[in-house]
Amino acid sequence: MKTVLITGGARSGKSTFAQGMAAKSGKRVLFVATAQAGDEEMRRRIEDHKRSRPSSWRTLEAPTEIGARITKSIGDGQLVLVDCITLLVSNVMGEFLSPDGSEVDEAESEKAVAAEIDGLLDCLKIIEADFIIVTNEVGLGLVPDNKLGRVYRDLLGKANQVLAGAADEVYFMVAGLPMRVKP
């Protein structure tokens, strides 16, 4: 089984490339959506994303615990498309925010994100399916001006490194163009 990681900046074409790759495979696809509709704008984005996928694909909404949820829901799926790790890390971090949302328990967030990624890696080992995983590269810009932003950037960066290490192929998207990074 093959694992592909697709990374890049916002609106770089990651999801489109991932969906095209999945569609071309001809395999039965389980689409794993990590987004949560916290406001109207995000609800619209999620609906647009749903419309962009073939109706034959099954969708699993899994904002956290994706490894366990994929294992339970794989059914006859032959390819799992996870979109995206960026929101997964945000969802996990959200569990450790202060009541006003301005502070995060950094140590607990780090443990929880590592456990989430470990759960996904365990899933990759036991599920007999190909995986395409989408994530954002957030470490190329300015250093965030607040601790919460820096903690998020660092946790996502670590998660991306672990996933890239486990992946058979890694693509970096630039302006809709895939650049193969690995192998």
- Active site (annotated) includes residue 49: yes
Chain centroid to CA 51: 19
Q: At 32, is the secondary structure helix, strand, or coil?
A: strand
**CA-CA-CA-CA torsion sign (20, 25, 30, 34):** negative
What distance in Å separates the CA atoms of residue 49 and residue 15, rounded to the nearest whole number? Answer: 9
Active-site position among 49, 58, 153, 158 = 49
Would you please indicate which residues are annotated as catalytic (active-site) residues?
Answer: 49
